[in-house]
Chains A and B, each alone.
Chain A
Amino acid sequence: MIGAERKAGRSGWALGFYTALIYGFFYLPIVTLILFAFDAKEVPGLPLKDLTLGWFAAALSDRQLLAALSTSVWVALLSASLAVLLAMPAALALAWVRLPAKPAILGFIIAPMVVPHLVLGLGLLLLFRPVPGILGVAGVVIAHTTLNLCYATMILYSHLLGFQRSLVEAARDLGASEIRMFWEVVLPLSAPAILAAFLMSFTLSFGEFVAAWFVAGFERTLPIEIWAWLRHILSPKINAIATVIVAVSVAMTILAQLWILRRRNGARGGAA
């Protein structure tokens, strides 16, 4: 008994160390970025002596930076919405309809995940060149919708595969038309998956640089703006804006998680 406990203790310690290493690997860059947002020096670096909130004020009053941020938010909102709207019918068909050559169709949907963004960006640029006015926000939205679509479809597809089919049949049996059934049963019960697909798409689009760079024309998304800055100066202003973004993302994720948990407790939960 004692031997077993000691063994468990030692392996527990090793597991703890390993976990700390993994988390450090994930989060150290983010922590560093946030830390230097408070560095009073013009060029961030160790040692960290004087702290300031000044960079936040500077970043949030920088018109050019805010314009790029707003462009990125709009592009992410639009491309995530479009991706979810397009992915839902595709996922429904893939999960519930008997289709010939389903593996091939799935393959074509997943393929953009493994195509380098460089290739996609270049391809889209060649495709867009003859079309006047498309390079810019429209171009980036299209590029990001393409990228988001495969992730959103896969998330919704796997959700619908596990969907209790008898609920669909019960609704139909009780007199609901296809459309009523979708609104009354499928949509509300798919809300967490739809939210997940949307958030994933939003995040992906928000941080995407390579494909956007090819098709943005003279428009600047936030990653493009930051990249342009980095070419001459490493200002803590960028750390500040990045910190704001991290804070907003974390808050959004926590809110989404809480919402899903509350729904689940409402639907199942123990006997009251």
Chain B
Amino acid sequence: MSEGELRAVTFRNVTHDYDGARALDDVSFEVGDGEFVTLLGPSGCGKTTLLRITSGFLDPTAGDVLLHGKSVVGVPPFRRNTSMVFQDYALFPHRTVAQNVAFGLRMRGMAPDEIRRRVDRMLDMLGLAGLGERRIGHISGGQAQRVALGRSMIVEPAVLLLDEPLGALDLKLRKQMQVELKRIQRQVGMTFLYVTHDQEEALAMSDRIAVMNKGRLMQYGTPHEIYRRPSSRFVADFIGEANLIPCRVAERRSDALVLKGPGASSFTAAPSGADPASGADAILVIRPENLALAEPPVPQANTIGAVVQELTFLGPSVRMTALAEGNIVLAVVIGPGGRLPAIGDRIDLKWKAEDAIVVGPG
């Protein structure tokens, strides 16, 4: 098996223009076989365009898309070994559940006995056994979601494309389906390319996340990497909650990056290898759970003074917002047992150098 065959999908410099407006700008990355990859970004970031290019409903203006090492640009959807789960499920209302699931196999000219066997097995796996003869209008939203999934999975595509498939479900059902989708994906070992704008969903389900903004790929990595080591202000801000402190790079040392913050404050951060140049503007990113109250004597480095503005009780934790020098609003998560200041108190917040991330100002 050559190297290329190990990758379910390869995007090479994919660019797409809609009537002169650039929807995708030079996107390149690879999806491994059996991986659950999520395209994540705000609406209009190009994630759905990329999904439609993979399915064959759109062709890229420039660049190449490879499925298992073979270029599929120009190959129509019905000749392409991809299958899409639509946002509105697109179940055929004039057909039963079983007929919907059987559709792809029937189009492939499979023998009726074999189709029936496979459809029964698929309905069993999805917990839809006994619903085969139901009309589409007579099943619940969660069931419809699973029928759509089964209809696409049964044709055993090289990659299953999912366009915000949980968007129409209520929150509780959505959480259930997230777990279920992930379980099914792991069970069958199919490659999933999943589109969502919900970062929590992406973090919970994905092996890797492609964060997109304004048609560009901002970062591609595991949820852990994306959360802990965002490569840009956009990614830091879009994934999870982030405190952004504007500063200036004072010194680049081999073991640390020294930064000047608002007022006379000075911070150090671990170097990442892609840090801004000395003297350049930068943003220090600190997650709320990595900020803590500093008890006297307050250390000099990596602390910032602030005034408590709000305290919100969340059950297991308390969320505090505080206003720091330079009009910066900071969010802090105080875990169980932590000391709680009062609103209006002057406090000092500290963090560990390795929890601070430095990104460019853009």
| Residues of A that sit less than 8 Å from B by CB | 164, 166-167, 169-177, 180, 184-185, 188-189, 263, 266-272
How far, in Å, is A180 (CB) from chain B's closest CB? 6
A271 to B137, CA, bound (A): 7
Neighbouring B residues of A174 by C-beta, 8 Å:
78, 83, 103-104, 107, 151-152, 155
A174 to B85, CA, bound (A): 10
19 CB contacts below 8 A, A to B, read A164-B88, A164-B90, A167-B90, A167-B92, A169-B77, A170-B86, A173-B56, A173-B78, A173-B83, A174-B152, A175-B107, A176-B78, A177-B78, A189-B94, A266-B135, A269-B138, A270-B138, A271-B138, A271-B140
Instruction: Pick from A172, A184, A266: contact of B78, CB below 8 A.
Output: A172
For the side of the interface on B, what is the size category? Answer: 20 to 34
Instruction: Decide: B136 and A267 in contact? CB cutoff 8 A.
Output: yes
Given contacts A166-B86, A174-B155, contact A189 B137 (CB under 8 A): no
Instruction: Pick from A173, A177, A184: contact of B84, CB below 8 A.
Output: A173
How far, in Å, is B112 (CB) from chain A's closest CB? 16
User: In residues 53-95 of chain B, which contact A (Cβ within 8 Å)?
Assistant: 55-57, 76-78, 82-84, 86-88, 90-94
Q: A174-B103, A175-B107, A267-B135 are in contact. List 4 more A-B contacts (CB 8 A).
A: A172-B78, A173-B83, A176-B103, A185-B92
Instruction: Decide: B92 and A175 in contact? CB cutoff 8 A.
Output: no
* B55, closest chain A residue (CB): A173
Closest 5 CB pairs of A and B: A268-B137, A175-B107, A166-B90, A174-B104, A170-B90
Instruction: Decide: A271 and B136 in contact? CB cutoff 8 A.
Output: no
* B79, closest chain A residue (CB): A175
Instruction: Pick from B77, B93, B94, B136: contact of A172, CB below 8 A.
Output: B77
Residue among A175, A263, A267, A270 with the highest chain B CB neighbour number at 10 A = A175
A212 to B56, CA, bound (A): 50
Does any Cβ of A come within 8 Å of B117's Cβ? no
Residue among A167, A174, A177, A189 with the highest chain B CB neighbour number at 10 A = A174
Neighbouring B residues of A266 by C-beta, 8 Å:
135, 137
Does any Cβ of A come within 8 Å of B139's Cβ? yes
A189 to B108, CA, bound (A): 22
Instruction: Pick from B57, B92, B135: contact of A169, CB below 8 A.
Output: B57
How far, in Å, is B296 (CB) from chain A's closest CB? 62
* B140, closest chain A residue (CB): A271
How far, in Å, is B78 (CB) from chain A's closest CB? 5
Neighbouring A residues of B57 by C-beta, 8 Å:
169, 172-173
Neighbouring A residues of B77 by C-beta, 8 Å:
169, 172-173
A164 to B87, CA, bound (A): 12
* A176, closest chain B residue (CB): B107
* A267, closest chain B residue (CB): B93
* A165, closest chain B residue (CB): B90
Neighbouring A residues of B83 by C-beta, 8 Å:
173-174
* B108, closest chain A residue (CB): A175
* A185, closest chain B residue (CB): B92
How far, in Å, is A186 (CB) from chain B's closest CB? 11
* A191, closest chain B residue (CB): B94
Instruction: Pick from B94, B108, B134, B151: contact of A272, CB below 8 A.
Output: B134
Neighbouring B residues of A175 by C-beta, 8 Å:
78, 104, 107-108, 155
Instruction: Decide: A169 and B90 in contact? CB cutoff 8 A.
Output: yes
Instruction: Pick from A172, A263, A268: contact of B76, CB below 8 A.
Output: A172
Neighbouring B residues of A184 by C-beta, 8 Å:
92, 103
Neighbouring B residues of A180 by C-beta, 8 Å:
107
How far, in Å, is B293 (CB) from chain A's closest CB? 52
Given contacts A180-B107, A268-B137, contact A173 B88 (CB under 8 A): no
* A170, closest chain B residue (CB): B90
Instruction: Decide: B139 and A271 in contact? CB cutoff 8 A.
Output: yes
A267 to B140, CA, bound (A): 14
Neighbouring A residues of B151 by C-beta, 8 Å:
170, 174
Neighbouring B residues of A268 by C-beta, 8 Å:
93, 137
Neighbouring A residues of B91 by C-beta, 8 Å:
170
A176 to B155, CA, bound (A): 12
* A167, closest chain B residue (CB): B90
* A263, closest chain B residue (CB): B94
Neighbouring B residues of A188 by C-beta, 8 Å:
94
A172 to B77, CA, bound (A): 6
A144 to B139, CA, bound (A): 45
Neighbouring A residues of B134 by C-beta, 8 Å:
272
* A271, closest chain B residue (CB): B138
Neighbouring A residues of B90 by C-beta, 8 Å:
164, 166-167, 169-170
User: In residues 272-328 of chain B, which contact A (Cβ within 8 Å)?
Assistant: none
Neighbouring B residues of A272 by C-beta, 8 Å:
134, 138
A170 to B155, CA, bound (A): 13
How far, in Å, is A12 (CB) from chain B's closest CB? 36
